[in-house]
């Protein structure tokens, strides 16, 4: 596998050695604070990702050729999960996004249960939307 | 919604200090296995664990040789048919129906409501009214909503009072001359209260309207005498009543059943078929097209036998004590808001300033199996102005220790989130 982006490597180092749910939850809440904010206008219906039980918004923009995503949610732990997803996909192009194994990434972090099919937190829907946006922007 | 409120703290009388044990817990291998895995199962309104006799019945049916029902002259076919029909008889007795001919097997409560919405369609004229309540599960709402669309009917929604009961004063004016059918739940899967069925059914009867009762939750908490209740139709799912999934029961009073048109076509339900035309059996066979879920029906029979062998009063007392403990624990915690005023089986709540999804996440991490979301009652939640809630739902095998673990996990989650 190719090298992880620096922020993702940092996440992996931090999460992989946590012993229990409580520490993982605390760290997720800290990561939640790292999301770049979306303003009120960006929290629009058009930017909403459906398939999530909570509200999730996703915006994509080109920054020096590369695609850059920002995301927000009304649920705090989901914000943490979104931050971990964004850290992992930073710098990936469309092909990189298409090839990304999200389940594997969260499994490495010890968060595999957050991606199980019965979860409706919508991380998979977010990745799907990223792929679509990458194909059209 | 005018009325129905989200209650902050209430006071409840403290329950006995003795730990609440369930004498029936050991009969349920599933609850023991989940416990051994560190899982506390409190999502019983979604589906229930099965007692040993149900597992044994399923195993024996397959292990001793399976066969299709109602069609073969051979011994295995005979045996399967007898066992299958024996369940119909048990259901008849369980519900105090007049005869086994009043019991139709479906694939679930949901299918029963769809069967009714198609089978009764011919009785409706444009402008007629179907009356439902604001607390209906999607299963007892959407089939009627879609029938209303197909036929140009008006769907009338009965409002709830502050406690979470269908408002009888409003019902008395809304159930009117154009009402052809009333479809209401016996016990809400969100609000946990017995609905005033005798009064509602009397209102429907006075207008000559058919009545449909959703017993999916009600059937699980007490035995109901349908003859005494006097509804036209009543439906529930086996899987919530400790039986296998894939089986539902539709009771129809014989005169009401006779008004249903056939809705699915195929084997078993047909008496005589030609290429261009066919004649069909009356209910119940005429409403059971194709091979039924034979093992599941036999398993439901075993579940009813098991329940029949329990001390009904003891079960009710245990469930009531658990429920009181659940309410007392929720009331003792700051910022916990109950939905309505649940009386039995379950409680839904939200916590001030805490997102349901966050609570769900952390309860799940701690091995607490509860349901979070809008519980298949989105319009109800919309009226409550809530995105969803956490639901704790109880079964006869739950005990005080399950609740203790739930509350410990809730406290730990809230500690992190606030
Ligand atoms: C009140 C109520 N009605 C109907 C149903 C539908 O039952 P099933 O999904 O088994 O058909 C449920 C199950 O969640 C329910 O709680």
DSSP of B357-394: HHHHHHHHHTTEE-EEE-TT-HHHHHHHT-S-EEEEE-
CATH number of the CATH domain containing A70: 3.90.1010.10
Work out how many CB contacts closer than 8 A connect A with B: 41
Contact yes or no for B119/B261 (Cβ under 8 A):
yes
CATH of B65-308, one of 3.40.1310.30, 1.10.10.10, 3.40.640.10, 2.40.30.170: 3.40.640.10
Separation of CA B326 and ligand 1 centre (Å)? 23
**Contact assessment for residue B393 and residue B46, using Cβ atoms and an 8 Å cutoff:** yes
Residue A76, chain B, CB below 8 Å: the answer is: yes
Q: Which of A73-77, B207-211, B355-359 has the highest mean pLDDT?
A: B207-211
Cβ of A21 and B373 within 8 Å? no
Whether B32 has a pLDDT exceeding 80, the answer reads: yes
Selected catalytic residue, list B326, B376, B390, B414: B376
Q: How close is the nearest chain B Cα to the Cα of A75, in Å?
A: 6
Mean pLDDT of B161-190: 96
Two structure tokens written together for B263: 């809705």
Q: Three-class SS of residue B228? A: helix
d(CA A85, CA A58): 12
Which amino acids bring their CB within 6 angstroms of ligand 1? Answer: B 45, 108-110, 137, 139-140, 185, 189, 214, 216-217, 237, 239, 376
H-only helix segments in B21-128: 29-36, 52-63, 75-95, 109-119
Query: pLDDT tens digits, residue range B246-275?
Result: 999 999 999 999 999 999 999 999 999 999
Mutate to test the interface with A, among B351, B365, B381 (most CBs of A within 10 A): B365
From the list A25, A74, A78, the residue facing B362 with the nearest CB is A25
User: Could you give the C-alpha distances from A84 to A54, A67, B352, in angstroms and in order?
Assistant: 17, 17, 27
Residue B14 has pLDDT above 90, yes or no: no
Residue to test with chain B: of A18, A19, A25, most B Cβ within 10 A:
A25
* pLDDT at residue A118, as a whole number: 65
Confidence of residue B9 (pLDDT cuts 50, 70, 90): very low
pTM beyond 0.90, yes or no? yes
Q: Is B231 a catalytic residue?
A: no
Rounded to the nearest angstrom, the minimum Cα separation between A124 and chain B is 16
Q: By CB neighbour count within 10 A (0-12 exposed, 13-18 middle, 19+ buried), where does A100 fall?
A: middle
The answer to the question of residue A102 being in a domain is yes
- For B6-50+311-417, the fitting CATH number among 3.40.50.1000, 3.30.565.10, 3.40.50.300, 3.90.1150.10 is 3.90.1150.10
Angle between helices B294-308 and B52-63 (to 10 degrees): 150
- For a mutational test of ligand 1's pocket, the pick from B108, B109, B114, B379, i.e. the residue with the most ligand atoms closer than 8 A to its C-beta, is B109
Nearest to B358 among A22, A26, A77 (CB): A77
What average pLDDT does the structure give for chain B? 94
Residue A17 CB partners (closer than 8 Å, separation 6+): none
Q: At what angle are helices A76-89 and A21-32 packed, to 10 degrees?
A: 70
Among chain B residues, the shortest Cα distance to A76 is held by B358
What pLDDT sits at residue A2?
61
| Cβ(B288)–Cβ(B268) below 8 Å | yes
Question: Closest by alpha carbon to A77, among B408, B360, B367, B335?
Answer: B360
pLDDT of residue A64: 77
Q: What Å distances lie between residue B308 and A25, B56, B95, B137, B298, CA to CA?
A: 46, 17, 12, 28, 15
Instruction: Compute the distance between CA of residue B417 and CA of residue B362 in angstroms, rounded to an integer.
Output: 9
What pLDDT does residue B10 have? 45
Looking at residues B175-183, what average pLDDT do you find?
98
Tokens of B228: 């005494």
Contact between A57 and A86 under an 8 Å Cβ cutoff? The reply is: no
Pocket test for ligand 1, best of B376, B377, B391, B395 (most atoms within 8 A of CB): B376
Q: Is residue A1 part of a domain?
A: no
Closest among B7, B237, B256 to B139, alpha carbons compared: B237
| pLDDT above 80 (res B2) | no
pLDDT given at position B373: 81
The boundaries of the domain holding residue A12 are 6-136
**Distance, in angstroms, between B387 CA and closest chain A CA?**
8
B46 has a chain A CB within 8 A of its CB? no
ipTM rounded to 2 decimals: 0.90
Whether chain B has a CB inside 8 Å of the CB on A54: the answer is: yes
* Beta-carbon contacts of residue A133 (< 8 Å; ≥ 6 apart): A58, A60, A67, A69
State the DSSP code for B123.
G
Among residues B119, B116, B159, B161, the alpha carbon closest in space to that of B139 is found at B116
Closest Cα partner for B4 from B160, B134, B188? B160
Distance CA(B96)–CA(B203), nearest Å, equals 23
In a domain, A51, yes or no: yes
Span B316-326, pLDDT tens digits = 999 999 999 99
**Per-residue DSSP letters for B140-194?**
GTHHHHHHHHHHTPEEEEE-B-TTS-B-HHHHHHHS-TTEEEEEEESB-TTT--B
Domain ranges for chain B, please list them. Answer: 6-50+311-417, 65-308
Given a cut of 80, whether residue B12 has pLDDT beyond it is no
**How many distinct helices (H) and strands (E) make up chain A?**
6, 2
- How much distance in Å is there from the Cα of B216 to the middle of ligand 1? 5
Among A135, A136, A120, residue whose Cα is nearest residue A49: A120
Residue B17 CA to its chain's centroid (Å): 32
Q: Does A75 touch chain B (CB under 8 A)?
A: yes
Number of domains in chain A: 1
Q: How far is the C-alpha of B235 from the C-alpha of B250, rounded, in Å?
A: 5
Q: What percent of chain B has pLDDT over 70?
A: 96
Max mean pLDDT among A52-61, B91-100, B365-374 falls in B91-100
List the single best residue of A22, A31, A118 to mutate versus B (max B Cβ within 10 A): A22
Ligand 1 atom with the shortest distance to the CA of B376: 14
In the predicted structure, residue B119 carries a pLDDT above the cut 90: yes
Output the tens digit of pLDDT for each of chain A's 137 residues: 568 999 999 999 999 889 899 999 999 999 999 999 999 999 999 999 987 778 899 999 988 778 899 999 999 999 999 999 999 999 888 889 999 998 899 999 988 888 766 665 688 889 999 999 988 87
Q: Residue B11 pLDDT more than 50?
A: no
Cα–Cα distance for residue pair B302/B300, rounded to 1 Å:
5
């Amino acid at each position: 596998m190719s090298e992880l982006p620096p922020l993702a490597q940092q996440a992996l180092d931090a999460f992989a050695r946590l012993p229990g749910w409580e520490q993982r939850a605390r760290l997720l809440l800290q990561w939640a604070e790292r999301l770049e904010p979306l303003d009120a206008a960006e929290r629009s219906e058009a930017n909403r990702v459906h398939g999530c039980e909570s509200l999730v918004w996703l915006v994509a923009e080109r920054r020096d050729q590369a695609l850059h995503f920002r995301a927000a949610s009304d649920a705090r732990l989901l914000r943490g999960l979104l931050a971990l997803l964004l850290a992992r996909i930073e710098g990936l192009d469309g092909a990189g996004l298409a090839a990304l194994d999200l389940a594997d990434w969260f499994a490495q972090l010890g968060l595999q249960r957050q991606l199980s099919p019965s979860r409706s937190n919508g991380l998979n829907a977010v990745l799907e939307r990223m792929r679509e946006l990458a194909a059209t922007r | 919604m005018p009325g129905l409120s989200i209650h902050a703290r209430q006071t409840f009388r403290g329950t006995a200090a003795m730990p609440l044990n369930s004498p029936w817990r050991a009969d349920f291998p599933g609850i023991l296995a989940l416990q051994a895995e560190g899982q506390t199962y409190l999502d019983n309104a979604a589906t229930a664990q099965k007692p040993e006799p149900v597992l044994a019945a399923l195993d024996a049916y397959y292990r001793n040789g399976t066969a299709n029902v109602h069609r073969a002259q051979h011994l295995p076919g005979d045996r399967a048919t007898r066992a299958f029909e024996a369940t119909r008889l048990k259901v008849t007795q369980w519900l105090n129906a007049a005869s086994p001919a009043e019991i139709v097997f479906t694939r679930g409560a949901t299918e029963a409501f769809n069967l009714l919405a198609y089978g009764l369609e011919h009785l409706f004229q444009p402008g007629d009214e179907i009356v439902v309540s604001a607390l209906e599960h999607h299963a007892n709402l959407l089939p009627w909503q879609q029938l209303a669309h197909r036929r140009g009917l008006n769907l009338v929604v009965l409002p709830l009072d502050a406690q979470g009961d269908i408002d009888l004063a409003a019902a008395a004016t809304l159930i009117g001359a154009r009402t052809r059918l009333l479809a209401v739940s016996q016990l809400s899967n969100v609000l946990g209260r017995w609905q005033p069925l005798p009064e509602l059914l009397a209102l429907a009867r006075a207008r000559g309207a058919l009545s449909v009762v959703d017993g999916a939750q009600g059937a699980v908490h007490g035995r109901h005498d349908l003859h005494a209740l006097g509804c036209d139709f009543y439906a529930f799912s086996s899987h919530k009543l400790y039986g296998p999934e894939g089986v539902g029961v539709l009771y129809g009073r014989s005169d009401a059943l006779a008004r249903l048109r056939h809705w699915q076509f195929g084997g078993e339900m047909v008496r005589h078929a030609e290429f261009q035309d066919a004649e069909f059996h009356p209910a119940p066979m005429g409403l059971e097209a194709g091979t039924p879920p034979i093992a599941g029906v036999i398993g439901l029979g075993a579940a009813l036998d098991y329940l029949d062998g329990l001390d009904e009063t003891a079960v009710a007392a245990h469930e009531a004590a658990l429920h009181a403990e659940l309410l007392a624990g929720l009331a003792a915690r700051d910022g916990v808001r109950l939905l309505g005023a649940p009386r039995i089986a379950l409680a839904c709540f939200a916590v001030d300033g805490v997102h349901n999804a966050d609570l769900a996440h952390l309860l799940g991490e701690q091995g607490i199996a509860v349901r979070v979301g809008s519980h298949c009652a989105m319009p109800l939640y919309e009226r409550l102005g809530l995105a969803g809630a956490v639901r704790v739902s109880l079964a006869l095998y739950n005990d005080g220790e399950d609740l203790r673990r739930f509350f410990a996990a809730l406290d730990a989650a809230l500690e992190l989130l606030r």
